[in-house]
Amino acid sequence: MVDNEDIDATGQALAQTVRMDDSITLFCDDGPGFVFSQVSSKSHSKWAVARQGDKDVQNANLPNIHAAVFQLIGPTKFKAVKGLRKAQKQLKGKSREDFKPEEHKLLSKAEQGARVEEEDNRQERIRLSGKPIVYGQVIQLHHALTKKFLAVSTTQTSALEPSNMQLDLLEDAGKKSQFRVLPRYKVRSVGDQVRVGDQIQLESIKSEAQFLHCSKSNFGSLYVEASSRELNLSATQSALTVLMHFSPHGKPNFQEYLRVNEQFSFVPRNPFQLPCGALNDFCQHVCLG
């Protein structure tokens, strides 16, 4: 079944609408390849584009498929969490037993504010979940592998293009992790729904008129991402194709589900690594009961 919003004026089915809480991959057409990051440490993380010709993430040269997966989240409040971090920094090295009365009050107030803000963000996320994402909307990209946000750096320049800025991984959401979704071509306009297969541009909210951009050269042998290009922040836009990884809002296709007592096989990506005959023995004995 297709929703009414997925049918055009002539009755033809349109590509799937992208919604809040969907998990997507971003294929950078300038690479070409999938945007990914494989290191969770902020000081060593690099955002890269794993170069490949086709848009099938299963064929991508990635250390882990989740390195290229993002969950789409709306903008969140972050002022109270920022205040809590500041209070904790001021009181670092002290135990609560040694706090002065005013320090107890400072920390308690900051913690209460952070709890209220967290609940507000949770309620807002519930409200937005499943709503179509439209051009002009502000989103955040929550990285599946590291559980952190793709964000811009305001202090570190790009490793490969010094005139551009580096991209970061941040635990806490904030203005640095917010991006505006813009259409790559004029066939889409602000207010239109974003659909799977659309080419988009992502503009930083923290650094206006700066966009996600793919470098022209590879990282090289000094980096873990040697054969990949760098994703950085630049005044020059790169086109990013939105591809669906998983949507909790889609209508299930029950033809694709396993049924009780139905036989199935697990086939490794490289069966030649198994001992001779092991694959046949394994496939013959596995069934769903």
pLDDT digits (tens, 9 = 90+) for 105-145: 888 899 999 899 989 989 998 999 999 999 999 999 999 99
pLDDT in tens, 74-104: 998 888 888 888 888 888 888 888 888 888 8
The phi, psi pair for 91, rounded to 5°, reads -100, 10
Alpha-carbon distance of 256 to 87, in angstroms, equals 52
Going by C-beta distance under 8 Å and a sequence separation of 6 or more, which residues neighbour residue 110? 80, 83, 84, 86, 87, 88
**Three-class SS state of 80:** helix
Does the pLDDT at position 1 exceed 50?
A: no
pLDDT confidence of residue 113: 93
Contact 88, 54 (CB under 8 A): no
pTM of the model: 0.77
pLDDT at 273 over 70: no
